[in-house]
Structure 1
Amino acid sequence: MAMDAGEIERMICEGIPGAKVTITDLRGDGDHYAALVVSEAFEGLPRVRQHQMVYEALKGKMGDDLHALALQTSVPKD
């Protein structure tokens, strides 16, 4: 069962409070998404840990309900 963009955004925002999340459906099939996640919580963390935080927020949905996620993370720019 595919996830919709709103559900992905909601889960990430719940798992990383204050994050700004932009989700794009890459193929229009509800199965291949790109996510841009900007959060102060990423400050000082290596990119790998930032991505782990997003995957943790998705609570095991990655690879099951969510087939593919092209992920970009960053801290807010002043």
Structure 2
Amino acid sequence: MIKRLEENYPNCKIEVFDLTGTQDHWEVYVESSRFAGLSRIQQHQQVMGCFGPELKTGEVHALSIKTKTV
């Protein structure tokens, strides 16, 4: 999770939490200037796009996203 976010959001503040210890329920926090001018929904859609395949297969069952524009 962290590696994928770092690839998509280099030099940004990123935090990842495994909410259940089962590695399928995650909370991610991304603080990036790339979110400037985007709505919160657009920001979250961008982050979700990083995990499209895993969300489709169920490897990632739940993804809670928190974003902040720098």
Do the structures match in fold with TM over 0.5? yes
- Please give the alpha-carbon distance, in whole angstroms, between the structure 1 residues aligned to 2:3 and 2:53: 15
The structure 2 residue matched to 1:54, chosen from 38, 47, 54, is 47
Any unmatched runs of 5+ in structure 2?
Answer: none
Identity of aligned residues (%): 32
Q: Which has the higher helix share?
A: 2
Shift of residue 16 of structure 1? 2.5
Matched, 1:12 2:5: yes
Query: SS at 1:72's partner residue?
Result: strand
Structure 1 range deviating more: 10-19 or 46-55: 10-19
- List alignment gaps of at least 5 residues for structure 1: 1-7
CA distance in 2, matches of 1:12, 1:50: 13
Runs of 4+ in 1 over 6 A off after TM superposition: none
TM-score by length of 1: 0.76
Question: What is the root-mean-square deviation in Å for CA atoms of aligned residues?
Answer: 1.4
Aligned length: 69
Normalising by structure 2, we get a TM-score of 0.83
Structure in which a larger fraction of residues adopt strand:
2
How far has the Cα of 1:57 moved from its partner? 1.9
